[in-house]
Each structure stands twice: as structure tokens, then as C-alpha cells.
């Protein structure tokens, strides 16, 4: 078949797109072409089009493909913005499946790279025999926390937001107050909680997890991932690849006003990472 390609799918919003593009810049240094799928219908902004035109001009091996417009779901009760965003990503799953099928007709898709909030698209890639990798930008400690979240869910019956005075013990993390858990998993009455539970359960089933961190920065959390203690079954924990620090370069005038800076890249993804 044709060229070897990697397909990436970030969540809606410029922050997720920029992060995925920075990873694509590393991967393109090897033999792969990159296609980044973009949603349409939530958090759209003209600055995104400006940004992707600039990236496409400078990095011709990175291309962008917009999925068909998707209408965000409506809810009968008040829900968090996280719930709306996660639902929107799930509604795009059929478009992602169709697009992967189409790309596979002319290229060998070596990997499908997604962020945590796009885990609902895993099944379509896996059913096609495409290895799925998560790109986790929040660091090793948060990865350990989210990987352990399904176990915390099993051990409690109420919402973390109501557990005043309760301290949680998570491998790779200092003791955490339950009320300080990340917003999307604070309230069991919010749909975001249940979507996040499903997504965090998917972490352990990926071919690998790419993390924007490095061992010297988070040794305890990195060790928890290496030992598998933060995953449901330590003997079947996915391989974790640390490729940070990876931050975007300052944007040129007239483009995005994101305040990012690019530091020295400690390590790069090698051909053995995705194969």
C-alpha cells in the first residue's frame, strides 16, 4: 500500500490542537506523514484556521482534515461545559471511523493518536487493526491519577465534591483532598463524570501512552507508571513514553495569542515507539 501515515485526533479547541501539532512535529522527523483530524461545531474560531495554514506552510508533511460539522448535544438539565465537550467528541466518533477507513484505502495507518477526551474513538481504530496511543499533556502525576480513577470510583459511592475532609491516596501522587479532584470527575450527577470514567478505563487498553513530561521532573509518578501500580492490572499496564518538556514556540504576530514557549526537547519519539 502507499505511504505510512499516522492519524491524530485532538479534542475541540486551540489548546488541544496546538499540543497535538507539537507532537506531530517530533514524529514527522521520521518516516511518517501526519494527518490531524479537526472537529467542526464546537469552539470554532478563525484563529484556528490562521494557525493551521501557518503550520501547513512550514511543515508540509503535516496535513489537517476537517470532519463534517457536528451539532453539540442538548441536555434537559444543567450540565458542566466538560459534559458538553465530552459529548461532542463522542458524537464525532462515526465521522472519525469513516475517515480512518477512507485514509486506510491509500495509506498504511501505523498509529492513531488521541487525547484522553477522544477515547470514544478507540474502538473504530482497534477494529481496523490500528494501534491506538494516547497523548497525555497533563504530566505523569495526572496520568497516574486518571489511571487510578476507576479504582477510586469502585471504592466510593458518593461524589468527591461532597467528601469534605476525605483524603485520597493515589500511586504517584501526594495525598489528595477529595474535594480538590479535577472538575470533570467531582460530581457523579454530571454526565462528564461517567464519560471520564469510561475514558480513564480505556487508558489501560491502549498500545501506549505518550506523556509530556520526563523522569527527572516527576520521578515518583513516572515510577508508578513504570511499575503499573496506577493501572487496574499492573501486569498488563500499557507502555508509557515520556517525551517532554514539549511546549509550543511563541506565535508570530497576527496569529494566535497563546503564551507558549518552546524549551529544549529532552528526548524524541523514535521509530521503536510507534511501529
Considering Cα of 19, then 21, then 25, then 27, what sign does the dihedral take?
positive
Between residues 256 and 192, the one the model is more confident about: 192
**Distances from the Cα of 28 to the Cαs of 130, 164, 182, 255, 268, in angstroms?**
18, 47, 33, 23, 11
Residue 254 has pLDDT above 50, yes or no: no
CATH superfamily of 4-139+204-242: Glycogen Phosphorylase B; (3.40.50.2000)
Tell me the Cα Rg of the chain.
19
Give the mean pLDDT of the chain. 89
Instruction: List pLDDT tens digits, range 39-93.
Output: 999 999 999 999 999 999 999 999 999 999 999 999 988 899 999 999 999 999 9
Asked, as a colleague might, if the bond just before 234 is cis with ω within 30 of 0, I would say no
Average pLDDT over residues 233-243: 94
Question: Residue ranges of the domains in the chain?
Answer: 4-139+204-242
Any idea which residues carry the catalytic annotation?
A: 16, 115
Instruction: List pLDDT tens digits, range 146-184.
Output: 999 999 999 999 999 999 999 999 999 999 999 999 999
Would you tell me how many other CB atoms lie within 10 Å of the CB of residue 224? Answer: 27
Beta-strand ranges (E) seen in 100-144 are: 108-114, 132-136
The answer to pTM > 0.95 is: no
Amino acid at each position: 500500500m502507499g505511504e505510512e501515515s499516522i492519524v491524530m485526533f485532538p479534542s475541540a479547541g486551540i489548546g488541544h490542537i496546538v499540543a497535538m501539532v507539537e507532537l506531530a512535529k517530533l514524529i514527522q522527523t521520521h518516516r511518517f506523514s501526519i494527518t490531524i483530524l479537526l472537529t467542526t461545531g464546537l469552539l470554532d474560531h478563525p484563529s484556528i484556521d490562521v494557525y493551521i495554514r501557518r503550520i501547513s506552510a512550514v511543515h508540509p508533511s503535516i496535513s489537517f482534515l476537517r470532519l463534517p460539522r457536528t451539532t453539540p448535544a442538548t441536555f434537559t438539565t444543567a450540565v458542566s461545559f466538560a459534559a458538553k465537550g465530552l459529548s461532542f467528541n463522542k458524537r464525532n466518533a462515526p465521522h472519525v471511523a469513516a475517515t480512518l477507513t477512507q485514509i486506510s484505502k491509500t495509506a498504511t495507518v501505523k498509529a492513531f493518536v488521541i487525547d484522553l477526551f477522544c477515547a470514544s474513538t478507540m474502538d473504530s481504530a482497534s477494529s481496523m487493526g490500528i494501534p491506538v496511543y494516547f497523548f497525555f499533556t497533563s504530566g505523569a502525576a495526572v496520568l497516574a491519577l486518571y489511571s487510578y480513577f476507576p479504582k477510586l470510583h469502585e471504592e466510593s459511592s458518593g461524589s468527591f465534591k461532597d467528601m469534605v475532609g476525605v483524603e485520597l491516596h493515589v500511586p504517584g501522587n501526594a495525598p489528595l483532598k477529595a474535594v480538590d479532584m479535577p472538575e470533570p470527575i467531582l460530581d457523579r450527577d454530571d454526565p462528564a463524570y461517567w464519560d471520564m470514567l469510561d475514558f480513564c478505563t480505556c487508558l489501560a487498553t491502549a498500545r501506549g501512552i505518550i506523556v509530556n513530561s520526563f523522569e527527572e521532573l516527576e520521578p515518583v509518578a513516572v515510577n508508578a507508571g513504570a511499575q503499573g501500580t496506577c493501572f487496574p492490572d499492573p501486569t498488563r499496564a500499557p507502555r508509557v513514553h515520556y517525551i517532554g518538556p514539549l511546549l509550543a514556540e511563541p506565535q508570530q504576530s497576527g496569529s494566535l495569542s497563546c503564551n507558549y514557549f518552546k524549551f529544549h526537547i529532552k528526548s524524541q519519539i523514535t521509530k521503536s515507539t510507534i511501529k
